[in-house]
Homo-oligomer: A and B are copies of this chain.
Amino acid sequence: MTGPLRAAGPRGRALERDLSALLGAGAASCAPADLWAMSRDCWPRALLWTKAGVAPHPPDVVVWPASTDEVVRVVRFAAERGVAVVPFGAGSGVCGGVVPVKGGIALDLKRLSGPPCIDLPGRTVDVETGMNGQRLEELLSGAGATLGHFPSSIYCSTVGGWLAARSAGQLSSRYGKIEDMVLAIEAVDGTGEILRTQDVPAAGPDLLQLLLGSEGTLAIMTKARLRCWPSPAARWMRGLRFRSVQEGMAGLRALMRSGLRPAVARLYDPLDTLLAVRSGGDAHARVPEPLRWVVEGAGGEALRLALRAPTLLNRLVESLPGASLLILGFEGDGSCASADAREEGELALRLLAPEGADDLGPAPGEKWLANRYKISYRQSPLFSAGAFADTMEVATTWDRLDALHAAVRGAVSPHAFVMAHFSHAYLEGCSIYFTFLGLAEGDTSGDPDELEEAEGRYDACWKAALSAACDAGATLSHHHGIGLHKQVFLPREHGEGMRQLRALKRAFDPRGILNPGKLLL
């Protein structure tokens, strides 16, 4: 046996036997490849494990329930025996939320993906939570509808994962985050009881909103009723340039407060701007060499050389022109009485001109649209080249936004190369999406301590970043969730609420079997 594949132990084999008896042959497995696949998600720190050939937290067994009733049976089975149950969607999470730190049962929900029930006149779709995001959008599209939810993980994420981690899609300024789209859920709690919320406004406390973002620690969501929309009939895309990030933020805020609802509104900081427009001609003329290696995705030695001195690299960014790119898009289904996408776009241009926006025409917008999912797939080549890329999405109010941006840049600067864009804007504030690029490999390739060193560098970078974000009054996570990764910072966010969270855990999951070791629960 090489690499992270490891044979199941006797506990795993016993669970496989019992769960196969419970749900039927083929519903459970403790084959090494299955255990490895469920031992991690796309958390970059877990990729370091994979690279080092280890899987520190495999489950004992993987189970594939095919119905809510089967989920109930697995949960009751596990509750009786005190075995952990970790729900698993498609494994695209970037915070280690599905890592089964206490072993037990990895509950893969992919078979909970029967045909969705689309009611376009009622504007709803009923869907099982194991449904793949892109598949759902294709089925909706075939019925003339859209969910309007386009996370960059859409090809490899599920409805259940979205709900568990408060997902935001790229068009959230128009369609909202997943918590704004969900009208009702069905969920199985840690005692195996089924909770179904109504599809009407709640009378009394709202249990639906409580379970969103709970990352499998309070209940396992099995079905959801989501709001859908008629497919957009028209789309309008644009790029605009501001002289500075600060002017761009002011423009974005004015736009959100104007009553216009852009589908896309993403503001890039100078370096991210450079990346976003890098196929656009001579924009690179003044870019210093080491920066260019990074920006142009140079592989191997050049990249590693540059990343050895992140502070220098980050300082070089200060020498860039301060221009900040805004990608702006509108879309509509043609039923809107007030304006269509083009009209709304032109109103936005008129509103943003006095804020200092130069109209760059449709090309930058169209280009962003064509490439919008690619970013998620750049990680592996970077990784092979000895770097790690990671992203941190925090959010705060408009008045604290610029300081948050500066504080995180400053804190991360000694650890990694950092860039950012501003997206998912709302009335009171906005999310900042930072990208960190750091050195994963040490100078001592092949040394057994190399993993520990790499993890240490990764952790130091994140500790600095999250401390700075909390100090600046940001939420810990806007839409990636908490997972293993950010949980030690959770008390900074919730304060006394942590005690309430623990009490909720006891209420929903008295045996403590649901995704233990997450959210500090």
Contact = CB atoms under 8 A, between A and B. Distances in A.
A227 B508 contact: no
Interface string A486-521: 100010011111011101101110000000000100
A428 B395 CA distance: 29
A205 interface: yes
A122 interface: yes
Interface of A: 121-124, 166, 177, 179, 183, 189, 193-207, 209-215, 218, 227, 257-261, 332, 335-339, 344, 347-348, 350-351, 395-399, 427-429, 473-478, 481-482, 486, 490, 493-497, 499-501, 503-504, 506-508, 519
A427 B396 contact: no
A431 B462 CA distance: 47
Given A123-B427, A199-B428, A218 B205 contact: yes
B395 A200 contact: yes
A500 B490 contact: no
A101 to B, nearest CB: 17
A257 B396 contact: no
B205 A259 contact: no
A160 B208 CA distance: 22
Given A194-B496, A197-B497, A339-B339, 5 more contacts: A123-B427, A166-B203, A196-B497, A204-B493, A259-B337
18 contacts: A123-B257, A124-B397, A195-B500, A196-B495, A197-B497, A198-B493, A203-B476, A203-B478, A203-B482, A203-B486, A204-B494, A206-B209, A259-B261, A259-B336, A337-B348, A338-B347, A504-B504, A504-B507
A369 to B, nearest CB: 22
Contact of A500 (B202, B501, B507): B507
B337 A338 contact: no
A467 to B, nearest CB: 15
A194 to B, nearest CB: 6
Contacts of A476: 203
Given A122-B428, A123-B428, A338-B338, A193 B259 contact: no
- The CB with the most chain B CB atoms within 10 A, among A206, A210, A336, is that of A206
A211 B504 CA distance: 13
A348 B207 CA distance: 36
Q: Which of A194, A507, A519 has the most CB of B within 10 A?
A: A507
Given A260-B338, A335-B258, A201 B496 contact: no
A215 B193 CA distance: 26
Instruction: Pick from A336, A347, A350 the residue with the most CB of B within 10 Å.
Output: A336
Contact of A337 (B195, B347, B496): B347
A213 B202 contact: yes
B428 A198 contact: no
A204 B166 CA distance: 8
Given A121-B399, A122-B398, A214 B203 contact: no
A207 B214 CA distance: 11
Contacts of A337: 258-260, 347-348, 350-351
A93 to B, nearest CB: 14
A110 B40 CA distance: 53
B504 A332 contact: no
A473 B200 contact: yes
B339 A200 contact: no
B227 A427 contact: yes
B189 A475 contact: no
A207 B500 contact: yes
A260 B205 CA distance: 30
B201 A475 contact: yes
B429 A475 contact: no
Given A497-B195, A500-B507, A500-B508, A338 B335 contact: no
A490 B203 contact: yes
A203 B213 contact: yes
Q: Most B CB atoms within 10 A — which of A183, A337, A490?
A: A337
A399 B122 CA distance: 7
A255 B213 CA distance: 33
Nearest to A119: B399
A350 to B, nearest CB: 7
A482 B204 contact: yes
A507 B205 CA distance: 14
Contacts of A211: 205
Closest 4 CB pairs of A and B: A503-B507, A259-B336, A209-B209, A200-B475
A495 B202 CA distance: 13
A259 B111 CA distance: 37
A485 to B, nearest CB: 12
Contact of A203 (B177, B339, B473, B477): B477
